[in-house]
A = this chain, B = another copy of it.
Amino acid sequence: MNPIASSAPASRGPADHNVRDQIVEAAGEHFGHYGYDKTTVSDLAKAIGFSKAYIYKFFDSKQAIGEAICSKTLTAIVVAVEEAVAGATTPTEKFRRMFKTLAATGASLFFNDRKLYDIAAHSAGEGWPSARAHCERIRQILTEVIREGREKGEFERKTPLDETVHAIDLVMQPYVSPLLLQYNLDAVEEGPAQLSNLVLRSLAP
């Protein structure tokens, strides 16, 4: 059921990992140029100079390669968010930075690495495991920030925690989901700031 896990068992050595990385990198270039939808594993094999069978030694399917590209990209966003949150002292500031960083890293991906962005958008649109895991991780970080704010008396405690988290998650979606962000690029600076103010007013004790 999980193509990445099944195609990359833990027992594989460093040499295999290098080949995997090579395939992922070349596939990223190739998908970016010709489009994920229009590329087959055969096209990819021909372009990289590997046999199709050799690629299938490492990845079960085209989607598994796409997943690997996508995971790498989304992990970089999560790392940036974690750093931003760690650098703030109050839950209020943590929330602001989290939202700002999510929008900024997404927009930067769009403008500087459009091909990776498009694969991430495709992944979000199709509900791939990599995209779902990313959303889940963002929700976890958000939950930790809200919980800390409640414990410190900075945020209200009347609303059930999961309701609060879910609603804030919905507010952030247009700037977090690569599928939606591309339509909100005009508001990528100002939007998260204004929405953070609104969300923080809603969190006032």
Contact = CB atoms under 8 A, between A and B. Distances in A.
Given A180-B180, A202-B202, A170 B197 contact: no
A2 interface: no
Contacts of A174: 170, 173-174, 180
A167 B197 contact: yes
A194 B180 contact: no
Nearest to A124: B183
A161 to B, nearest CB: 13
B195 A167 contact: yes
How many copies make up the complex? 2
Contacts of A171: 171, 195, 198
Interface in A174-189: 174, 177, 179-180, 183-184, 187
Contacts of A18: none
Interface string A105-138: 0000000000000000000010000000000000
Contacts of A197: 159, 163, 167
20 contacts: A159-B197, A164-B198, A166-B194, A167-B194, A167-B195, A167-B198, A168-B198, A170-B174, A170-B194, A170-B195, A171-B171, A171-B195, A174-B174, A174-B180, A180-B180, A180-B183, A199-B202, A201-B203, A202-B202, A204-B204
Q: When A and B form their complex, which 3 residue pairs have the shortest distance between CB atoms, in order from nearest?
A: A202-B202, A201-B202, A167-B198
